[in-house]
């Protein structure tokens, strides 16, 4: 049995596991996608964002 039919039988065949797979993969995709795009933005704007200058002004915490 090939990889795709294993996946099909394990996940896509039943609606319940299919729905679960959709939810879990959406969550995982969103998390990694946000992480990647945010770090691109921070790389492009290195030194300009509040995040990069705030330690100069924060006292305690």
Which residues in this chain contact another protein in the complex, by CB under 8 A? 33-34, 36-38, 40-41, 44-45, 48-50, 52-54, 56-59
- C-beta of 14 vs 34, nearer to another protein: 34
User: Measured between alpha carbons, how far is 34 from 31 in angstroms, rounded to an integer?
Assistant: 5
CB of 48 to another protein, least distance (A): 5
C-alpha distances in Å from residue 30, one per residue of 3, 24, 54: 25, 10, 27
| CB nearer another protein, residue 13 or residue 52 | 52
Would you state the structure tokens that stand for residue 57, as one six-digit string? 């002004």
């Amino acid at each position: 049995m090939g990889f795709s039919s294993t996946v099909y039988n394990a996940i896509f065949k039943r609606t319940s596991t299919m729905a679960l797979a959709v939810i879990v993969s959406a969550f995982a995709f969103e998390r990694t996608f946000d992480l990647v795009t945010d770090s691109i933005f921070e790389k492009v704007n290195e030194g300009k964002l509040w995040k990069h200058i705030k330690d100069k002004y924060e006292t305690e915490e």
